[in-house]
Amino acid sequence: MTRNAQSLLGLRHLTLILISFVMLVPFYWVIKTAVTDENIYAYPPSLFPRDAHLFNFVDVWYLIPFPRYLANSMFVSTIAVIGNVLFNAMAGYALTRQFTGRRTVLALFLSCMLIPFQATIIPAYLITAKMGLLNTYLGLAFPMLSTIVCIFVFKAAFEAVPKSLIDAARIDGLTEWRIIVRVLLPLSKPAIATNVILTFIWSWNNFLWPLLITRDPNMQTLPLGLARFLSYMEDTTGALYAFAVMVLAPSILVFLMAQKEFIRGLTSGATKG
Amino acid sequence: MSLRSWATSRLVIVPGGMVIVTLVWLAYVGAHNHGIVEGHVVDAAGQPVAGASVQLFERGFVTHQERGRTTSDAQGAFRFIDNRSHSIQLEAEAPGLGRTERRILRLWFAAQDAKIAEPLRFAAPK
């Protein structure tokens, strides 16, 4: 490697380290506040935690029904993830097939992506109510059971599978459903990981929909619990930030576990050849 | 995917490890959550105070409320057996000695058994 190339690489790394630092500072500040009882408005702010402890996390666990909220969020996210992988895989496969009106369906999907969820929330609420799913886990996960972005992720992944492989499977007598399960899904692990991560994070952070359809406090999810906690504990920033860390941790963990597949899933189909 | 590669996958190891740590922690909690809080009351000279009234305050959302009261014995020792909280305060009161400062005790889990190393100390009379 020439001297010029080396210094260019060093400069690139330095830039990336600086950008990473800027991105990570808010996270560091949240964690620092969560492990201390410092007031975040204190001036001058201390860079490092003083008298760090973990008791704010214990307070969060006991002062509100945190385990209940956690279990609710887990149930809802699990239902949403399962529904997403199942329905999106089916929809993605259908879109790789040739049928009359395929382009119209694609155009409809793309145009639906432009409509914000807030605009469709009333019909979504009425449909959920008609189905008797208000205040249920399935109702909470209902609008997240299939997402258009994730359908396109599956479509791109399935299109990357050689057509001859699918034809061979069909000649061997596999039904369409078994082609998806036995051939396409095992070859589309990055797309599955992308679906799992995106759906989990969206469902986990969802605030507006659970706020609308839950009646019983025992059915509330973590973001609603966070809002409730904020209203009670607005002057206790340590506990509040500890709550924020506890809400964030599972989705960060899921992302870290599957980030390699996630990035591969998002970039698959980006280039041809 | 072979059983070996499946078992060594991070998607199994991380959640599996978390489940194991949680189970161990729950077993520890189960063995140490009898709600026993023990300590001593001493005067300014460090001598045990018998007959001091010790109050236990439990943390609510905004305030602390009294949840228990006991009396120190001849050695100045006191013992609560029904603490259900994770965050408490202790205060002793004795005739002629006044009140001690409230001692904040934050526990790792509700009803954790705790022995206070530093006794509740009355201030020297002014």
pLDDT digits (tens, 9 = 90+) for A156-202: 999 999 989 999 999 999 999 999 998 999 888 889 988 988 999 89
Residue intervals of chain A classified under CATH 1.10.3720.10 are 56-267
Taking the CA of residue A147 and the nearest CA in chain B, the distance in Å comes to 24
Same domain as B50, residue B20? no
**What's the CATH number of domain A56-267, 1.10.3720.10, 3.40.30.10, 3.40.50.1220, 2.40.160.20?**
1.10.3720.10
What confidence score (pLDDT) does residue A273 get?
A: 41
Same domain as B55, residue B117? yes
Given a cut of 50, the residues of chain A with pLDDT beneath it are 272-273
| Enclosing domain of residue B24 | 1-31
Given a cut of 50, the residues of chain B with pLDDT beneath it are none
For chain B, what is the domain count?
2
What confidence score (pLDDT) does residue A1 get?
A: 66
B1 CB neighbours in chain A (<8 A) are: none
The three-state (H, E, C) secondary structure of chain A, written as one string: CCHHHHHHHHHHHHHHHHHHHHHHHHHHHHHHHHCCCCCCCCCCCCCCCCCCCCHHHHHHHHHCCHHHHHHHHHHHHHHHHHHHHHHHHHHHHHHHCCCCCHHHHHHHHHHHHCCCHHHHHHHHHHHHHHCCCCCCHHHHHHHHCCCHHHHHHHHHHHHCCCHHHHHHHHHCCCCHHHHHHHHHCCCCHHHHHHHHHHHHHHHHHCCHHHHHHCCCHHHCCHHHHHHHHHHHCCCCHHHHHHHHHHHHHHHHHHHHHHHHHHHHHHHCCCCCC
Contact status of B61 with chain A (Cβ, < 8 Å): yes
Same domain as B41, residue B27? no
The complex scores an ipTM of 0.85
Quick check: B61 and A63 CB within 8 A?
yes
What confidence score (pLDDT) does residue A272 get?
A: 46
Quick check: A257 and B10 CB within 8 A?
yes
Interface test with B, best of A35, A63, A187, A236 (most B CBs within 10 A): A63
Same domain as B77, residue B20? no
